[in-house]
Chain A
Amino acid sequence: MPPHRLHGALSRRRFVTRLGTGALLTALSRPAHALVQSPEFPGPRGLVPPAPATNWSLSVGRRRITLDHKTLDAPCLNGTVPGPVLRWRQGDTVTLAVTNTLDEPTSIHWHGVRVPSAMDGVPGLSFDGIPPGETFTYRFRVHQSGTYWYHSHSGGQEQQGLYGAIVIDPATPDPNACERDYVILLSEWTDVSPRDIVSNLKMQDDYYVFRQRTAASFPREAREKGALAALKDRLAWSRMNMAATDIADVSGAIYTYILNGHAPDMNWTGLFHPGERVRLRFINGSSMTMFDVRIPGLEMLVVQADGNDVEPVPIDEFRIGVAETYDVIVQPKDARAYAIFAQSEDRTGFARGTLAPRAGMAPDLPPMDPRPVRTMVDMGMADMGMGDMKPGDGMPEMDGASPAHAHADMHAMDMPGMDMSGMDMRHDGQGSVAHPLEVDDPGPPPIGVENQNVAMMPIDRTGSPGDGLEDNGRRVLNYRQLRATRPGADPRPPSREIIMHLTGNMNRYIWGFNGRKFSESGPIRLRRGERVRFTLINDTMMEHPIHLHGLWSELENGQGAYAPYKHTIICQPGSKLSYLVTADVPGRWAFHCHLMYHMDLGMFRTVLVS
């Protein structure tokens, strides 16, 4: 605890430091002397440091922070939540000495940054973690540029505040340089311990869901689609022992959604002069929450996804999965305030901030959208048609052999279709079509303790913005719109396909791949240099942001050679997607769902490149 916090009087410094958890406006909103500049508190949240640096001395410690009446001794970097923005330059070798002053091991993982395996910061895969009282020095060459972030990979520290932004300047002039440049780091804040959250979910999977269908909500549903249809839909879900209202496992019931460490009432503000181009580097640093982001009145131009430049896409709204990043450019013309409005996917709360010509402005916030409701599409029964078939039909029979065949057939039938779109481009001029792949297909995952459902007919949903965002009258980003600004570095077609089913049992709160937890599975082995297609089939009814450490995931979204490079990809419920990976860095890499409690409870694999 810093000494000044022991003083009884509310000194100016203490006042500012306390507000430092949130309420400071940007540097431009106050004269610079009003800001405390200290190693513990390097500056207001969201500002990119003026210049890149190569040597960083970082300290992990606990600090008592209160946000929205929730007080927590948060593990954090250099005393703030989020931690400092680290600005590096492409091509530099950076040295980061991380000292652990906690009484438990810690670690820092550089999310999306291509580093040697030993520098990746995952205890048990990269290294042994950083023991209490010790310093671990990360040193690696920065090969890439763009917006990334860092977070702890130890226990629940990430949930509690050990995360922050990374901004890497390109070696060549940035095509998207703007007059203003802000990091917008979205995350959650709660005083409930991660262990308690998991324990509660183990006992009751809908512990944090207070938006279920009830008798009281029936009349409205009946008005919308007819009493009989509403009743049938309810019975269908009930028969499957599932809930159509299962959007997020942990909700605004305990989470305060924060933006750059500011609760909604603290209203983080970024300043602009009318006509300026403002770059907003959105990072979803939360543990369990997807955000739907918009700035009413401003068009956003998406210029970067997961640190990699994409052809600009003009949009009104986008969904940012846990651990994803999007850079957008806005150009406010009027001297008025604009709200940055980030609703949680389940609509139980929002993070908010403001872009304004001067400090202290608080624009009206739009109402929250209705919460999404899952449909049979999310169960992977999209093509079966609600009208022809009772949604629950076929579920109990799934252990049998025939659906397995149906699944295999489906797979065989639509994979080449998917291949063609991608392959055509890659094979132009070569006059050949894909040679047969070596395929690791686990088959439909067995229904059982660890798997509740098999998506009978998973569909490609990369063209959908996601549940709750379809047909909302706004231009909402979808994955197919992401087109890299330059062709991929590795034009080879994949020589192997690895199919992974995303599975889980919501009721028992167990998560995994192919019907197994981490502890029951082996590593995924890749040969060094190998070009592999990962195909994900989501058999669960929730989105999973799947993150592969150390190697790029080139999403096969129909953009051919210009497939976007990503580090985290949302696989929508009941859907199937694929991406290509070049295994060009040896070592042990983590491959997991970035929803923290899904990862912790088994949705995690080791990828071994050797």
Chain B
Amino acid sequence: MRALLLMGLSLLCACMAHAQTTQYHAADAPDAGTPSYIDGIMPVMDQGTWFHGILDALEGRYAPGNSDFRWDGEAWFGGDYNRLWLKTEGTVEKGRLHDGDHEALYSRAISRYFDIQGGVRVDLDDGPTRTWAAFGIQGLALYQFEMQATAYASDRGRFATRLEGSYDFLLTNRLILQPQAEFNIYTKADQGRGVGAGLSDVDAGLRLRYEAWRKFAPYIAVTYAGYFTQARRFAHERGDPTGSVRFTFGLRSWF
């Protein structure tokens, strides 16, 4: 009987507790009136800023009569929410620089795994220079799939988008196989830069890296670079290869 009474009472309490807890209140709710520390000395420094740079790829791609050198890197500076990103990539082939793409982006963390980014992109290499406004999203999709999707608008009323993705497949804790792909899509052709309307070019690789230590990982790879649709025709007219699979080796490194 007593047990029943207790149970009844506890249920009552439960209901009351429920009624109360639906109005959520955090004991540590932000409180502008009461400082959490004295004399401007924060007991912990949770608003630190950090600076890192990473060379995802610094690689030589080899095929008979068709070898080049490529880099793809980025650096960021900032705190947990706001960061400045610099990204750069390009290819050197027979002493000429092409596919030079450099971006400066402000980045804002918006969810568990994603940041939105906005800024400028400059296509700067031995070809004609183009300037774009950039807006994109970058982060970790499900299954630990790294992705970036960026939309660009140029000063000449053109639009473009770039999709990039990669995945780290751990063979061992240090030997990592990384499939990676980048797709560039344009609304209008820009023959001076070898760019065609529609899907213009694809760059992909399957890289096997060895993390001798975290920040220093040499790799071997098979890479593919190719032009599609209209851009494929431009390349053909230039006498360039329209698509090539090449043996590649390089270095992934960061600080």
A contact residues vs B (CB 8 Å cutoff) = 122-125, 128-129, 153, 155, 198-200, 202-204, 207, 210-216, 235, 238-239, 241, 408-409, 411-413, 415-417, 419-420, 433-434, 436-437, 439-443, 447-452, 498-500, 505, 507-508, 510, 512-514, 516-525, 588, 590, 592, 599-602, 604-606, 608
Q: 11 other contacts beyond A199-B52, A508-B80, with CB at 8 A cut-off?
A: A123-B41, A128-B41, A216-B171, A443-B24, A500-B28, A507-B112, A508-B109, A510-B80, A516-B28, A519-B47, A588-B38
Given A412-B21, A508-B80, verify A514-B28 contact (CB < 8 Å). yes
Contact partners of A505 in chain B: CB under 8 A: 112
Residues on A with beta carbons closer than 8 Å to the beta carbon of B254: 203
Closest chain-B Cβ to A404's Cβ sits at a distance in Å of 9
Instruction: Known contacts A241-B144, A415-B14, A449-B111; decide if A523 and B44 are in contact (CB<8 Å).
Output: no
How far apart sit A525 and B36, CA to CA, in the bound complex (Å)? 10
Complexed CA–CA distance, A523 and B37 (Å): 9
> Would you give 8 A-B contacts (Cβ < 8 Å), ordered by A?
A123-B41, A419-B13, A442-B27, A447-B111, A452-B112, A498-B27, A514-B26, A523-B31
Q: How far is the CA of A516 from the CA of B30 in the complex (A)?
A: 9
Q: Mask for B1-38, Cβ within 8 A of A = 1, else 0?
A: 00000100111011111101110111111111010111
Q: Which of B45, B81, B113 contacts A600 (CB 8 A)?
A: B45
Min Cβ gap A607→B in Å is 9
Question: Given the complex, which residues of B lie within 8 Å of A524, measured CB to CB?
Answer: 27-28
Q: Which residue in B14, B37, B44 is a CB contact (below 8 Å) of A412?
A: B14
Known: A124-B37, A507-B113, A522-B36. A416 touches B52 (CB 8 A): no
Tell me whether A124 and B39 are in contact (CB under 8 A). yes
Q: Is residue B63 contacting chain A, with contact meaning CB distance below 8 A?
A: no
The answer to whether B124 has its CB under 8 Å from any CB of chain A is: no
* A408-B21, A436-B16, A449-B110 known; A239+B143 contact, CB < 8 A: yes
Q: Which chain A residues lie closer than 8 Å to B174 at the CB level? A: 210
Q: B142 near A: Cβ within 8 Å?
A: yes
A604 to B47, CA, bound (A): 13
A298–B20 CA distance with the chains assembled, in angstroms: 51
**A128-B39 contact, Cβ under 8 Å, with A440-B25, A441-B24:** yes
- B25-69 residues with Cβ-Cβ distance < 8 A to A are 25-32, 34, 36-39, 41-48, 50, 52
Known: A199-B52, A521-B36, A523-B36. A241 touches B140 (CB 8 A): yes
CB contacts (< 8 Å) of B144 on chain A: these are 238, 241
Determine how close the nearest CB of chain A comes to the CB of B172; give it in whole angstroms.
5
A604 touching B44 by the CB < 8 A rule? yes
CB neighbours of A203 from chain B (8 A)? 50, 52, 254
Nearest residue (CB) in B for A105 is B41
Interface: B245 (CB within 8 A) = no
Q: Which of chain A's residues have a CB closer than 8 A to the CB of B171?
A: 214-216
**Alpha-carbon gap, A523 to B21, bound state (A):** 20
Kindly state the separation between the CA atoms of A198 and B80 in the bound complex, as whole angstroms. 13
Residues of B within 8 A of A520 (CB): 30
Q: Does B214 contact A (CB under 8 A)?
A: yes
Minimum CB–CB distance from A174 to chain B (whole Å) comes to 35
Given the complex, which residues of B lie within 8 Å of A600, measured CB to CB?
44-46
A239 CA / B143 CA spacing, docked (Å) = 4
Q: CA separation between A520 and B28, bound complex, in Å?
A: 9
Known contacts A124-B42, A520-B30; decide if A214 and B170 are in contact (CB<8 Å).
Answer: yes
B residues less than 8 Å from A408 (CB atoms): 18, 21-22
Q: Is the pair A590, B170 in contact by a Cβ cutoff of 8 Å?
A: no
Task: Point out the residue from B6, B39, B50, B142 that lies within 8 Å of A199, measured CB to CB.
Answer: B50
A451 to B113, CA, bound (A): 10
Closest to B108 in A: A449
Q: Contacts A441-B25, A448-B112, A608-B34 given: A518-B170 contact, CB under 8 Å?
A: no
Q: In the assembled complex, how far is the CB of residue B110 from the closest CB belonging to chain A, in whole angstroms? A: 7
Known: A203-B52, A439-B21, A449-B81. A522 touches B14 (CB 8 A): no
> Nearest CB to that of A214 among chain B residues?
B170
Chain A residues in 8 Å Cβ range of B110? 449
Residues of B within 8 A of A241 (CB): 112-113, 140, 142-144
CB contacts (< 8 Å) of B109 on chain A: these are: 449, 508
Interfacial chain B residues near A409, Cβ < 8 Å:
18
With A215-B169, A524-B28 as given contacts, are A416 and B46 in contact (CB-CB < 8 Å)? no
Q: Are A411 and B21 in contact (CB under 8 A)?
A: yes
Closest 3 CB pairs between A and B? A522-B31, A442-B26, A443-B24
- Closest residue of A by beta carbon distance from B52: A203
A212 with B43, Cβ < 8 A, contacts A412-B18, A434-B13, A514-B28 known = no
In angstroms, Cα B40 to Cα A168, docked, is: 34
Given contacts A443-B24, A600-B46, contact A207 B41 (CB under 8 A): no
Q: How far is the CB of B91 from chain A (nearest CB, A)?
A: 26
Q: How far is the CB of A73 from chain B (nearest CB, A)?
A: 21
A425 to chain B, nearest CB (A): 14
**B48 and A198 form a contact (CB under 8 A):** yes
The complex places the Cα of A222 from the Cα of B101 at a distance, in Å, of 45
B9: chain A residues at CB < 8 Å are 433
B213 nearest CB across to chain A (Å)? 9
Point out the residues of chain B lying under 8 angstroms from A123, CB to CB: 41, 43
Whether A212 lies near B170 (C-beta < 8 A) is yes
Please tell me if the beta carbons of A436 and B17 are within 8 angstroms of each other in the complex: yes
Are A443 and B27 in contact, CB atoms less than 8 angstroms apart?
no
B101 to chain A, nearest CB (A): 23
Pick from A128, A212, A214, A439: contact of B20, CB under 8 Å: A439
The digit string for B161-196, where 1 denotes a CB below 8 A from any CB of A, is 000000001111110000000000000000000000
Asked if B6 and A420 make an inter-chain contact with CB atoms under 8 angstroms apart, the answer reads yes
- CA gap between A452 and B111 in the complex, in Å: 9
Residues of B within 8 A of A411 (CB): 17, 21
| Best-buried of B26, B81, B144 by chain A (most CB within 10 Å) | B26
CA distance A442 to B22 in the complex (A): 9
Of B13, B36, B39, B80, the residue contacting A518 (CB under 8 A) is B36
Among candidates B15, B44, B50, B173, residue contacting A202 with C-beta atoms closer than 8 Å: B50
| B43 smallest CB distance to A (angstroms) | 4
Within the complex, what minimum Cβ distance (angstroms) separates B131 from chain A? 30
CA distance A253 to B140 in the complex (A): 26
The distance in angstroms between the C-alpha atoms of A239 and B140, with both chains bound, is 11
Complex Cα distance A514/B25, Å?
Answer: 11
Q: What is the chain B residue whose CB lies nearest that of A438?
A: B20
Q: Verify B30–A522 contact, CB threshold 8 A.
A: yes
A604 to B44, CA, bound (A): 8
Q: Nearest Cβ distance between residue B116 and chain A, in whole angstroms?
A: 12
Contact of B27 among A419, A500, A590 (CB under 8 A): A500
Contacting residues, chain A, for B44 (C-beta < 8 A): 518, 592, 599-602, 604
B residues 55-102 in Cβ contact with A at 8 Å:
80-81
